[in-house]
Amino acid sequence: MEAKLYNIQGKEKGTVTVPEALFGLTWNADLVHQVVVSMQANARQTNAHTKDRSEVRGGGRKPWKQKGTGRARHGSTRSPIWAHGGVAHGPRNEKIYDKKINRKVREKALLTALSRKFKDGEVIFLDKIAMEAPKSAIAQSTLASLAGAGFPYITTKKKNAALVILPRADRAVIKSFANFGHINTEEVRNLNVVDVLASKYLVIAEPEAAFEVLSKKRVVAGKVAKESSAN
């Protein structure tokens, strides 16, 4: 498969050969949904916490004697049916929401999402992004050039317009795009299916280097495909 290769001025510099094993997978909604839900559950923080009747303060003395008052019997003023009492069946921070994700399944979902983005024309290949020092003006100019090259939402979408994928950590580039709230950056080795699907466009810098990292996941994806067909 062939795709257009752009430079930071938004001009076509040629074409790049895109590996079909990485960007030619068929869409599998069930697989992607399973991995996305699991990753979001693993990232969930259990902050909500209520106290039960044994944790709230007070209520040690029996409010009134058991019999003879004409009122209902009670043993503590911190029962859940009393005002300022404990909470019954409320959220607790001991609850664990983590879900296990097999590495092969996670990587297959990533390649499936990349393939879908490529099929929808939402993957932009740049020859390189190099800066000696953080320059927001260069980053803004690059986004404007890509918008003029046929990707208009990269400047108009207010949130998650694009994910800039770098072959390696580049402090200057990361800090240059950090000033834009609708643009995110990530190293290709840390790429995951949630980040891919959250952004409208994927801007892959130095695609050959990115393919080399992603190719390590290709064998895993192939194994998952074989196992699925066998079942």
Q: Note the pLDDT tens digit of each residue in 9-25.
A: 989 889 999 999 999 99
For residues 119 and 82, what is the distance between their CA atoms, to the nearest angstrom? 60
- pLDDT at res. 230: 52
Contacts of residue 81, Cβ cutoff 8 Å, sequence gap at least 6:
none
Measured distance CA(39)–CA(181) in Å, rounded: 23
Specify the CATH architecture of the domain 2-44+100-230.
3-Layer(aba) Sandwich (3.40)
Torsion angle, alpha carbons of 156, 160, 164, 168, to 10: 160
Which of 23, 197, 228 lies closest to 105, judged by CA? 228
The tens digit of pLDDT for each residue in 26-45 reads 999 999 999 999 999 999 88
Residue 231 to residue 198: CA distance in whole angstroms: 31
pLDDT tens column, 57-87: 988 899 999 999 999 999 999 999 999 999 9
Total number of residues shown for the chain: 231
The ranges of the chain annotated as CATH 3.40.1370.10 are 2-44+100-230
